C-alpha cells in the first residue's frame, strides 16, 4: 500500500497483496476484477514498488492507444503521493511511428504506412540528415535534425517529460511546437524509465519486440509484463499472425508492374502481371466453388448464403502449378523473384521520398508463408468480402499460443480484465502454465446500485425471427419505450452494425423521440470521441436526455467510461453469439480437439464477455447506479456469468421502480 494513492476499495488490498506474493515468487497471475474496480492502479502500485526495489523494468501493454492515457494519469497520482521518489517514479508511453512521427503526421501518404515502411522512411531520413549535417543544403527530417544538432532543444524536451509525465498526445503536441522528434525523445528516455506503456504489438510482433528490448537494455528475466484488457489478447494475436490475399491486392500488383516494368517469371512462361491475373482467376474460382457452391452448369449446390468456406490446404498452389504448367520448385523460384523485384520497387520509392511500399513484395511474402504453414495451428479459408467485389483467401491462425512463447521468459506476467471468466480458457488459449495463479475478485460496488433484467418475449435468434415477424416489432417497441419514457442517458447495444442498421431503417430511428447519437461503422477515432462527448454532455440536461446506438464488442462498449449520470440505462439487443462462419467452426473444432471445450471456449465465453463489457459501462465507482436490460429470452443461459439476472414481466414498471428506489 506504500505507493497506492487512494483510499482502497474492497478487494484492492487483496489484489495488491496477491500480486506482491506472485512477484516475489517469480510466478504469473491471471485475474478478473469487475469493470471500474481499479485494476490499473492496483497493478501499477504494487508492481512499481517491487520493480524499484529489485531493479526491474515494467512493460505495461494495452489494446488501444487511448487506454495508455489512464496508465499515465495513475502514474502521476502515485508520484504525487510519493514526493521522495519523484525521480525514480518515471514512465513513458510509446506508440507506433504512424502516431508519433511528425513527418508522417504532416504527410498523408506516409501516415498510411505500415510499421516496417515507416521504419524504412525514418532510417532514410536520418541518413540524409547525417550526410548533410555540415552542409548548407540541409536534407532529411527537420525534427530529427533538431534532435541531433540542438542539444538545448533536446535537454528542454527531456526535462519537460521527466517533470510532467505527459501522455503520448501531450508529448507529440509539445514536440511539434518545439520542432523536435517525439519518437527519438522517448527512445532516449526509455532507459531512465521504470515503466514503459505500449500497445500489444510491441511485445507480440517479433521485429518490434526486438527493437523495444534493445532500447530497454535489460534481459527478459528483469522485465515484468502487465497485460491490460487481457480478454482481447487471444483474438489480437490470431489476427496478428493470420494473413490474407485479396483481389484488390492483386489488382494493385498489376498496376505496380505496369508502372515499374513487367518482368517475366518462371524462365519466361509468364509475366508478373500475367501471374497476378492467373491468381485472380484462381481466387474467384475458389470463391465460386466453395462459398457459392456453383457447379459446372452454373447451378448452386445450396440455397442459403455463406460468406466463407474451408479450402483444401494445397489447392491454391496446386491450381497455380497446373494452370501455368510448372513444377513446385519453379513456383518457389517465382516467389523469390517476386520478393526480389518488390524490394527493388521499395528502394526506388524510397529514393523518390515516397512510401516504400510494394504490393508485389507483399504478394511474394504471402505466397512464401502460405505454402510453408504448419497446418496444425492454421486453417485456410476463401472469403466472399465486400459483397463479392473483393474475395480473398486467408490463412487463419487458430491458436494464439503460436505467438506467446515470449511469455515464458519474463520475470512475471500479470493478465487482468473485468471479463475473463472462465479463467482456465484464457490460460489454456495463451499457452500459460497449469500452475499459474487464477483469481476472480468480487465487484467492490453494492449490488443494490445495479439491476439487470431480461425479457422472454423476444430474441434475435435467426430461426425464430424469420418465422415470426412480430418478434422484431416487439423488440422495437421495447427499445423505443425505454428510450422515450425515462429521462436518463440511455445506450442501446446491438450485436452488430448490420443489425443496428436493419432496426434503424425499419422504423426504430423514427420511433425514438429523443436526441439520438449513432456509432457508425468505420468512424474515425476523433469523430467517435466527438459523438460520445456530445452524448455525455446531454447528462447535464434535467429532462429529455440523449440516447445512443452502439455495438457490443466495439470501442464504446469496451474502452470508455460513463460515470454517474452520463449513462444510467443500458439496453442489450439480443445475445451477441459469433456468426456460424467457417472461421468460427474451425476455431470451435480446434478447441474441441485440443481441450474438449470447443463450445465453452469459443462461443459461450466470448459471448458472455461481450455482454458483461456492455453492462459494465453502467457502474464505474461506488456512487454510480444503473439498470441493464437484455432483450432476449436466451439470457438465462448466462446466469453463471451474470448472477443478478432477473426476468421482467413489465419492463417499464420494473425500471421505473428501480429508479424511484
Over 272-289, what HEC string results?
A: HHHHHHHHHHHHHHHHHH
Of 134-143, 409-418, 422-431, the poorest mean pLDDT is in 134-143
* Span 142-192, pLDDT tens digits: 999 999 999 999 999 999 999 999 999 999 999 999 999 999 999 999 999
Residue with cell 498496376: 255
Helices 328-351 and 115-131 cross at an angle (nearest 10°) of 50
Contact 455, 478 (CB under 8 A): yes
What is the distance in angstroms between the CA of the first residue and the CA of the last residue of the chain?
36
653: left (phi over 0), alpha (psi -120 to 50) or beta: alpha
Q: Which three cell numbers stand for residue 533?
A: 462527448
Q: Comparing 99 with 335, which gets the higher pLDDT?
A: 335
Of 19-33, 39-53, 69-83, 533-547, the poorest mean pLDDT is in 533-547
For residue 320, give the 3-state DSSP assignment: helix
Maximum separation of any 2 CA atoms in the chain, in Å:
82
β-partners of residue 419 are: none
Torsion of CA 347, 352, 356, 357, to 10 degrees: -100
Q: How far apart are CA 599 and CA 563, in angstroms?
A: 35
* Span 19-42, pLDDT tens digits: 999 999 999 999 999 877 889 999
Q: How far apart are CA 330 and CA 266, in angstroms?
A: 6
Split at pLDDT 50, 70, 90, the class of 11 is confident
Q: How far apart are CA 379 and CA 394, in angstroms?
A: 8
Closest CA to 143 of 174, 92, 184: 184
Residue with cell 541531433: 148
User: Cα 112 to the chain's mean position, in Å?
Assistant: 18
* Span 460-492, pLDDT tens digits: 998 898 899 899 999 999 999 999 999 999 999
Q: Residue 413 carries which DSSP code? A: E
Neighbour-count burial for 185-204, b at 16+ CB within 10 Å, e otherwise: bbbbbbeebbbbbbbbbbbb
Q: What is the pLDDT of residue 619?
A: 81
Q: Which three cell numbers stand for residue 522?
A: 468505420
Question: Is the confidence at residue 615, as pLDDT, over 70?
Answer: yes
* Span 226-263, pLDDT tens digits: 999 999 999 999 999 999 999 999 999 999 999 999 99
* Span 320-370, pLDDT tens digits: 999 999 999 999 999 999 999 999 999 999 888 889 999 999 999 999 999
β-partners of residue 551 are: 494
Read off the pLDDT of each residue in 607-631 and give the average, rounded to a whole number. 89
Amino acid at each position: 500500500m506504500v505507493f497506492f494513492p487512494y483510499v482502497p476499495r474492497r478487494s484492492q488490498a487483496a489484489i495488491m497483496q496477491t500480486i506482491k506474493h506472485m512477484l516475489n515468487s517469480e510466478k504469473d497471475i491471471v485475474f478478473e476484477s469487475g469493470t471500474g474496480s481499479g485494476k490499473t492502479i492496483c497493478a501499477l502500485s504494487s508492481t512499481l514498488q517491487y520493480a524499484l526495489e529489485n531493479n526491474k523494468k515494467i512493460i505495461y501493454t494495452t489494446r488501444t492507444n487511448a487506454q495508455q492515457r489512464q496508465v499515465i494519469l495513475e502514474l502521476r497520482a502515485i508520484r504525487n503521493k510519493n514526493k521522495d521518489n519523484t525521480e525514480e517514479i518515471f514512465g513513458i508511453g510509446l506508440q507506433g511511428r504512424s502516431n508519433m512521427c511528425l513527418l508522417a503526421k504532416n504527410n498523408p501518404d506516409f501516415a498510411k504506412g505500415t510499421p516496417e515502411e515507416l521504419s524504412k522512411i525514418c532510417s532514410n531520413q536520418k541518413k540524409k540528415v547525417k550526410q548533410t549535417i555540415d552542409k548548407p543544403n540541409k536534407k532529411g527530417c527537420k525534427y530529427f535534425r533538431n534532435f541531433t544538432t540542438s542539444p538545448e532543444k533536446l535537454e528542454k524536451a527531456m526535462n519537460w517529460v521527466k517533470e510532467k509525465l505527459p501522455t503520448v498526445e501531450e508529448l507529440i503536441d509539445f514536440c511539434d511546437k518545439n520542432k523536435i522528434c517525439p519518437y527519438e525523445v522517448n527512445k532516449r528516455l526509455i532507459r531512465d524509465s521504470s515503466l514503459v506503456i505500449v500497445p500489444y504489438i510491441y511485445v507480440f510482433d517479433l521485429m518490434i519486440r526486438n527493437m523495444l528490448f534493445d532500447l530497454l537494455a535489460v534481459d527478459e528475466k528483469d522485465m515484468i509484463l502487465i497485460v491490460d484488457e487481457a480478454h482481447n489478447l487471444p483474438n489480437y494475436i490470431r489476427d496478428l499472425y493470420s494473413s490474407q490475399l485479396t483481389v484488390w491486392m492483386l489488382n494493385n500488383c498489376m498496376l505496380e508492374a505496369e508502372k515499374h516494368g513487367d518482368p517475366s517469371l518462371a524462365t519466361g512462361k509468364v509475366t508478373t502481371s500475367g501471374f497476378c491475373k492467373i491468381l485472380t482467376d484462381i481466387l474467384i474460382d475458389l470463391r465460386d466453388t466453395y462459398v457459392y457452391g456453383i457447379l459446372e452448369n452454373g447451378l448452386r449446390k445450396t440455397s442459403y448464403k455463406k460468406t466463407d468456406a474451408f479450402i483444401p490446404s494445397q489447392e491454391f498452389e496446386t491450381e497455380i502449378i497446373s494452370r501455368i504448367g510448372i513444377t513446385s520448385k519453379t513456383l518457389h523460384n517465382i516467389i523469390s523473384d517476386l520478393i526480389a523485384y518488390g524490394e527493388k520497387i521499395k528502394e526506388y520509392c524510397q529514393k523518390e521520398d515516397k512510401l516504400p511500399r510494394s504490393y508485389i513484395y507483399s504478394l511474394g511474402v504471402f505466397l512464401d508463408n502460405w505454402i510453408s504453414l504448419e497446418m496444425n495451428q492454421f486453417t485456410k479459408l476463401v472469403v466472399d468480402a465486400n459483397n463479392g467485389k473483393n474475395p480473398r483467401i486467408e490463412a487463419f491462425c487458430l491458436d494464439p499460443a503460436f505467438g506467446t512463447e515470449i511469455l515464458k521468459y519474463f520475470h512475471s506476467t500479470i493478465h487482468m480484465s473485468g471479463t475473463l471468466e472462465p479463467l482456465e480458457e484464457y490460460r489454456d488459449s495463451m499457452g500459460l502454465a497449469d500452475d499459474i495463479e487464477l483469481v476472480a475478485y468480487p465487484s467492490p460496488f453494492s449490488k443494490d446500485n445495479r439491476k439487470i433484467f431480461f425479457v422472454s418475449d423476444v430474441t434475435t435468434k435467426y430461426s425464430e425471427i424469420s418465422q415470426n415477424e412480430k418478434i422484431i416489432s416487439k423488440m422495437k417497441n421495447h427499445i423505443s419505450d425505454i428510450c422515450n419514457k425515462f429521462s436518463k442517458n440511455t445506450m442501446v447495444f446491438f450485436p452488430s452494425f448490420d443489425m443496428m442498421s436493419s432496426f434503424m431503417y425499419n422504423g426504430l430511428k423514427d420511433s425514438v423521440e429523443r436526441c439520438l447519437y449513432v456509432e457508425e461503422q468505420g468512424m474515425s477515432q476523433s469523430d467517435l470521441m466527438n459523438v460520445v462527448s456530445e452524448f455525455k454532455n446531454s447528462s447535464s440536461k434535467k429532462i429529455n436526455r440523449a440516447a445512443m446506438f452502439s455495438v457490443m464488442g466495439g470501442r464504446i462498449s469496451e474502452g470508455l467510461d460513463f460515470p454517474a449520470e452520463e449513462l444510467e440505462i443500458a439496453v442489450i439487443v439480443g445475445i451477441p453469439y459469433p456468426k456460424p462462419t467457417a472461421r468460427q467452426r474451425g476455431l470451435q473444432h480446434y478447441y474441441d480437439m485440443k481441450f474438449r471445450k470447443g463450445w465453452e471456449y469459443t462461443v459461450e465465453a466470448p459471448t458472455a464477455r461481450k455482454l458483461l463489457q456492455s453492462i459494465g459501462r453502467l457502474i464505474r465507482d461506488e456512487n454510480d447506479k444503473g439498470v441493464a436490460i437484455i432483450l432476449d429470452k436466451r439470457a438465462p443461459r448466462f446466469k453463471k456469468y451474470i448472477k443478478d439476472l432477473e426476468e421482467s414481466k413489465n419492463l417499464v414498471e420494473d425500471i421505473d421502480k428501480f429508479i424511484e428506489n
